[in-house]
């Protein structure tokens, strides 16, 4: 017979929830996520994406989210054509100094009729090598350009989920912002 009251452990509950998100089929998590996305004001955007794309997005962010509500915050930047920038991130990484680098990357990406993760990665690494810079000098501005944030899943996976058109559009708009300073 138990003589003390049960103890509710919220940390354990979050851990269990995170494990469920990580181990469940992405399509199942995506469907569970839909009402949360609708509640977050993304109902119209949801109509423009496929179930497969949403499941791919879940795969991209599931390691970072502990709850479906967390996941909404992680997936929000991938919806729509434009990105909302974190002001601090934009001020730090979208500058007149980074604009020429972003333009060179954009020019390389535009030269390919279709883009894939290996093409993006190869073009990116070649530019870093040619410019004699560290990966982060280019990666962080591109991350901010594509997601509006300084933290995201792998950069090339982000590009893959966004697709060629949105990646190029977001880079163009970020170059405009960076050029203005």
Gap between the Cα atoms of 141 and 137, Å rounded: 7
- Shared domain for 25 and 71, answered yes or no, is yes
- Shared domain for 61 and 103, answered yes or no, is no
pTM of the model: 0.86
In the listed set 49, 78, 107, which residue is the last one of a domain according to the structure? 78
Q: How many domains are there within the chain?
A: 2
In the listed set 78, 103, 133, which residue is the last one of a domain according to the structure? 78
Angle in degrees, 0-180, between the axes of helices 155-180 and 117-131, rounded to the nearest 10: 50
pLDDT of residue 114: 82
Burial class (CB in 10 A: 0-12, 13-18, 19+), 165: exposed
What residue has token string 């970020």? 174
Residue 3 forms part of a structural domain: no
pLDDT of residue 47: 93
Per mean pLDDT, which of 12-21, 23-32, 77-86 is the most reliable?
Answer: 23-32
pLDDT of residue 43: 93
Containing structural domain, residue 132: 87-180
pLDDT of residue 3: 67
- Shared domain for 167 and 105, answered yes or no, is yes
pLDDT tens figures, 99-118? 999 999 999 999 988 878 89
């Amino acid at each position: 017979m138990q003589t003390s009251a049960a103890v509710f452990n919220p940390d354990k509950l979050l851990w269990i929830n995170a494990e469920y998100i990580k181990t469940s089929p992405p399509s199942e998590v995506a469907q569970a996520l839909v009402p949360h996305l609708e509640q977050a004001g993304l109902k119209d955007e949801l109509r423009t994406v496929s179930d497969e794309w949403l499941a791919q997005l879940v795969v991209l962010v599931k390691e970072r989210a502990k709850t479906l509500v967390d996941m909404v915050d992680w997936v929000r930047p991938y919806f729509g054509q434009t990105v909302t920038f974190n002001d601090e991130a934009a001020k730090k990484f979208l500058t007149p100094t980074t604009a020429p680098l972003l333009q060179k990357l954009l020019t390389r990406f535009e030269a390919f009729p279709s883009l894939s993760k290996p093409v993006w990665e190869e073009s990116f690494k070649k530019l870093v090598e040619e410019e004699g810079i560290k990966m982060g000098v280019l990666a962080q501005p591109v991350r901010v350009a594509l997601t509006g944030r300084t933290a995201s899943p792998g950069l090339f996976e982000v590009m893959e989920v966004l697709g060629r058109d949105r990646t190029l559009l977001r880079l163009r708009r970020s170059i405009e912002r960076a050029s203005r300073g």
